[in-house]
């Protein structure tokens, strides 16, 4: 068993133009003041990191680590959620996702996709230069508009989508393998990898690639009514990263999983700050500790009600209180008889 590392915090939802959320130095000082020990860096936030420079300069990466380190903060992972999304975009979402890309490739889906792939390749090298072993991202989606089969999906549609997704990701996974870094896909509605079955479909097509792993976030499973504890048991060997995020699902006679096109605050399923939702984190932390999970417990704040700074402040203590310092001894060691093989055979009546 292993004691989880943490608490850490994903910086994406806190990045801004004003201190303390504008630079890596300032936000690390802020995070440390709340009790965090690590930060997960969104690679698209230029105030925190220049991804291309990090890919090409070990010295620059050492500077980033020193900036965080002077506050007692470790860099836990880089994130390319936005760029990973752009590796595969169905044309229905071209306009909606264009804002995720660099200005020079917007309006040009081919150039945008090539840019996104290059961003992932930069992230592999940058992660290696930072001494990281995991990377957080999204898979993107080609089949998502057809997630509910009405009208009936034509035969082979989903299979072709996953074949193409695998073709696009295999060279990226190989680059991460060369860098010694695991790609951790966040299983998330809106991605083709949105549950265990879809992840397995992808994994089969990338030949069970050793680097095609998982970022575990139970909140997305609450919203789609998937058993998030059983998921840990099934995929424990593939879970390499962990977002600690809460959610609740309160269906009514008027709406359920799909939410009736309502805003987040009015949906049956909505994200909440840690401790305000329905996720059984005591069970999750117990399973991850028992499964020898080696990564970080990283807060991702997304709440329909609470202010982010309150969520961040409360979240640090919440995670710290849930991390289990694993025991090195069995509780009944005091009663050990100190037996050996001969004594065991005697107890079994074999001698």
The values of phi and psi at residue 201, to 5°, are -60, -40
CATH number for the domain including 279? 3.20.20.150
Q: Of 140, 232, 117, which Cα lies nearest the Cα of 192?
A: 140
Residue 250: CB atoms within 10 Å:
11
Residues 61, 129 contacting (CB under 8 angstroms): yes
Residue 226: CB atoms within 10 Å:
16
Query: What's the average model confidence in pLDDT over 180-205?
Result: 98
Extract the tokens encoding 297.
């417990």
Return the residue matching tokens 């008889």: 337
Q: Whole-angstrom Cα distance, residue 191 to residue 260?
A: 20
Strand pairing category for 246-249 and 239-244: unpaired
Report the domain count for the chain. 1
Instruction: Give the pLDDT confidence score for residue 347 in this predicted structure.
Output: 85
H-state helical runs in the chain: 24-34, 51-56, 58-69, 81-85, 94-98, 109-129, 157-179, 196-205, 218-223, 228-235, 281-290, 308-322, 341-347
Which residues are registered as beta bridge partners of 39?
9, 75
The lowest-confidence range among 207-216, 305-314, 334-343 is: 334-343
285-336 confidence digits (pLDDT tens) = 999 999 999 999 999 999 999 999 999 999 999 999 999 998 776 655 555 6
Instruction: Give the pLDDT confidence score for residue 162 in this predicted structure.
Output: 98
Instruction: Give the pLDDT confidence score for residue 187 in this predicted structure.
Output: 98
Q: Whole-angstrom Cα distance, residue 86 to residue 36?
A: 31
84-115 confidence digits (pLDDT tens) = 999 999 999 999 999 999 999 999 999 999 99
Residues 12, 42 contacting (CB under 8 angstroms): yes
Q: Whole-angstrom Cα distance, residue 267 to residue 259?
A: 5
pLDDT averaged over every residue in the chain? 96
- Domain of residue 299 covers 5-347
Q: Of 228, 203, 223, which Cα lies nearest the Cα of 283?
A: 228
């Amino acid at each position: 068993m292993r004691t989880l590392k943490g608490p850490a915090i994903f910086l994406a939802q806190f990045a801004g133009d004003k201190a303390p959320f504008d630079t890596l130095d300032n936000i690390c000082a802020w995070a440390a003041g709340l009790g965090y020990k690590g930060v997960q860096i969104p690679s698209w936030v230029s105030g925190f990191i220049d991804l291309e420079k990090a890919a090409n300069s070990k010295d620059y990466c050492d500077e980033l680590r020193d900036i965080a380190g002077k506050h007692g903060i470790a860099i836990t992972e880089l994130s390319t959620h936005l760029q990973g999304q752009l590796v595969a975009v169905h044309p229905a979402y071209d306009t909606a996702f264009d804002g995720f890309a660099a200005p020079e490739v917007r309006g040009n889906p081919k150039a945008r996709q090539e840019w996104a792939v290059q961003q992932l390749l930069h992230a592999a090298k940058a992660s290696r230069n930072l001494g990281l072993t995991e990377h957080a991202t999204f898979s993107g989606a080609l089949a998502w508009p057809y997630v509910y089969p009405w009208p009936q999906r034509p035969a082979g549609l989903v299979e072709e989508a996953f074949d193409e997704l695998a073709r696009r990701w295999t060279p990226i996974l190989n680059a991460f393998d060369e860098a010694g870094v695991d790609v951790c896909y966040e299983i998330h509605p809106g991605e083709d990898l949105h549950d265990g079955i879809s992840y397995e479909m992808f994994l089969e097509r990338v030949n069970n690639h050793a680097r095609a792993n998982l970022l575990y976030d139970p909140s997305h499973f609450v919203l789609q009514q998937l058993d998030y504890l059983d998921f840990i048991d099934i995929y424990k060997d593939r879970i390499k990263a962990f977002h600690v995020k809460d959610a609740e699902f309160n269906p009514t006679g008027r709406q359920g999983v799909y939410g009736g096109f309502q805003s987040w605050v009015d949906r049956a399923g909505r994200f909440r700050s840690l401790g305000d939702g329905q996720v059984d984190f005591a069970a999750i932390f117990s399973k991850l500790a028992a499964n020898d999970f080696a990564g970080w417990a990283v807060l991702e704040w997304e709440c329909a009600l609470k202010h982010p700074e309150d969520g961040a402040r409360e979240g640090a203590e919440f995670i710290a209180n849930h991390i289990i310092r694993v025991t090195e001894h069995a509780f009944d060691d005091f009663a050990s008889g100190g037996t050996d093989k001969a004594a065991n055979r005697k107890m079994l009546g074999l001698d």
